[in-house]
Every structure is written in structure tokens, then in C-alpha cells.
Amino acid sequence: MSGVVNPYVLTDKRLAQGMATGIFAITELGLEKKCTMCGDWYPFDDEFYQSYFIKAKNRHQVKAECKACCTERYRNHLRKKP
């Protein structure tokens, strides 16, 4: 499967930018990412963060918020509908 791209693998440049801005950190658990909604740190993998595909740019990306915050936001959105 040479066409499959893992969005959880970062380039050195992206990792350096993320660490400088406080998005990523390297801890004893490995590479961690800060959720933009709750502010908690979670390991940067598919267990905690959801990837998605951008068709116009033809690439995969990882959401900025953790899966728990995405689920909560989605449920709140459904409750607000008439």
C-alpha cells in the first residue's frame, strides 16, 4: 500500500513549528498534542485524534481537537436543531 499516507507522521519542520507554538510536546509517553478545545495533552495517535481527508488539497490531516471534544461538540449541535 504505497498510496496510503499516515497523517500522524510529522515532518521535522512541522514538529519544530508545533513545539515552538506549544501544539506538540515530547514527553515520557512520546509525542503529545494539545487539544484546542479542552486544553489537555494526549498522545498524537488515532486513539485520541481523528484524521480526515481534504479532497481539494488531496491530503490527510488531523483535527485540532481530541475525539472526546469532537463528540461533545457534535452532540451539542444535534441538540440545538429544531
**pTM of the full predicted structure?**
0.80
4-37: per-residue pLDDT in tens?
678 888 889 989 999 999 999 999 999 999 999 9
Q: Across the beta sheet with 41-43, what order do the strands follow?
A: 24-27, 30-34, 41-43
Nine cell digits for residue 59: 491530503
Contact between 28 and 41 (Cβ < 8 Å):
no
Nine cell digits for residue 30: 512520546
What percent of the chain has a predicted confidence (pLDDT) above 70? 93
**CA–CA dist 41, 12 (Å, integer):** 20
The pLDDT value recorded for residue 78 is 83
